[in-house]
Structure 1
């Protein structure tokens, strides 16, 4: 098994509390509404949203992925830290662990950092296109939610 770690960072004019509520706490309700061309729905299979919760993201018909499951490892609404693990993966990965941190900036916006740790099966080589596809999905959700929050200043305030 190999372990590959990648970090991405983005800044936003939206405060961390609003991004965290929209993208993390309420994502199962908000993201399918904002991104219906990609995500059909998000089901909570187990739990109440906190640690131990298992969510299944169901993608629209014709999508490469079909569905994926995430297990919530940590959800801290005071420090804006969220950790989850993508589980039940196919042949390439044992699992993929994510840590997302939203930090305030002096201009009342946020600095948002995501660390991804890919745990591969056997001698599987991690391809650049696998990493880029995951980054694009995450960034797509982030940008859609950010645009919604900028257009709706009272949402998740």
Structure 2
């Protein structure tokens, strides 16, 4: 709690409340006196504004599949492998850049009869030695009229038994004025986990793939 003019103020305040506090005369006095409280309020405002319209989910999966094979199947060899275990996907192709390097854009087409036709992803960061990839969904009807983009992060951590622990995070960035539905977030989380499990099953049944 903070003390402002004898009143207790909680650490977290709604964005509007922080803006009002910063506009009060007492705020100017605090700033002029070099008080750290004014700086704290500004930081809270920046943080709360930055996080508005962004929701995320995290998945974790322990698997017997080695991180090298799984990374190939999900990332570097995905155009060949993913359509084999993820039935809604018709094809994946690189449309900008060479290989799965930073800045490359790959286009995913969905099979007919589905509500979505395509999506485009951009590789933002990739580390093939440590099995880390960050990529962003930048275009496609999946975004609809609610989302600007979806930022993904995939990490594969080797296990002592030769398998790995898959850790993924997705950040959904809503368009201005849009509030994302928690049920939709939950559905996206489950769908992503099902894709990882399908990949695991496919690689387990086909040990020569991505070996």
TM more than 0.5: yes
The answer (yes or no) to whether the contact 1:82–1:99 under 8 Å persists in 2 is yes
Question: Displacement of 1:38 after TM fit?
Answer: 0.8
**Match for residue 174 of structure 2?**
120
**Match for residue 25 of structure 1?**
76
TM-score normalized with structure 1 length: 0.91
Query: Is 1:45 aligned with 2:90?
Result: no
Q: Which runs of 5+ in 2 are unaligned?
A: 1-51
Distance 1:99 1:25, change over 3 A: same
The answer (yes or no) to whether the contact 1:23–1:31 under 8 Å persists in 2 is yes
Bigger radius of gyration, 1 or 2?
2
Greater relative contact order (CA < 8 Å, ≥ 6 in sequence): 1
Task: Give deviations 1:76-99, integer Å, cap 9, x for gaps.
Answer: 110100100001233211111000
Query: Is 1:75 aligned with 2:126?
Result: yes
The answer (yes or no) to whether the contact 1:3–1:119 under 8 Å persists in 2 is yes
Give 3-state SS (helix, strand or coil) of 1:23's partner: helix
Question: Which residue among 47, 53, 61 is the counterpart of 1:2?
Answer: 53
- Structure 1 CA distance for aligned equivalents of residues 122 and 102 of structure 2: 8
Question: Displacement of 1:127 after TM fit?
Answer: 1.2
Question: Which structure dedicates a bigger proportion of its chain to strand?
Answer: 1
Give 3-state SS (helix, strand or coil) of 1:101's partner: strand
- Structure 2 CA distance for aligned equivalents of residues 11 and 19 of structure 1: 12
Q: CA RMSD in A?
A: 1.5
- Structure 1 CA distance for aligned equivalents of residues 186 and 81 of structure 2: 24
- Structure 2 CA distance for aligned equivalents of residues 137 and 46 of structure 1: 27
Question: Displacement of 1:26 after TM fit?
Answer: 0.5
Distance 1:68 1:136, change over 3 A: farther
Which range is displaced more, 128-137 or 26-35? 128-137
Distance 1:23 1:131, change over 3 A: same
The answer (yes or no) to whether the contact 2:61–2:166 under 8 Å persists in 1 is yes
Question: Which structure dedicates a bigger proportion of its chain to helix?
Answer: 2
The answer (yes or no) to whether the contact 1:101–1:112 under 8 Å persists in 2 is yes
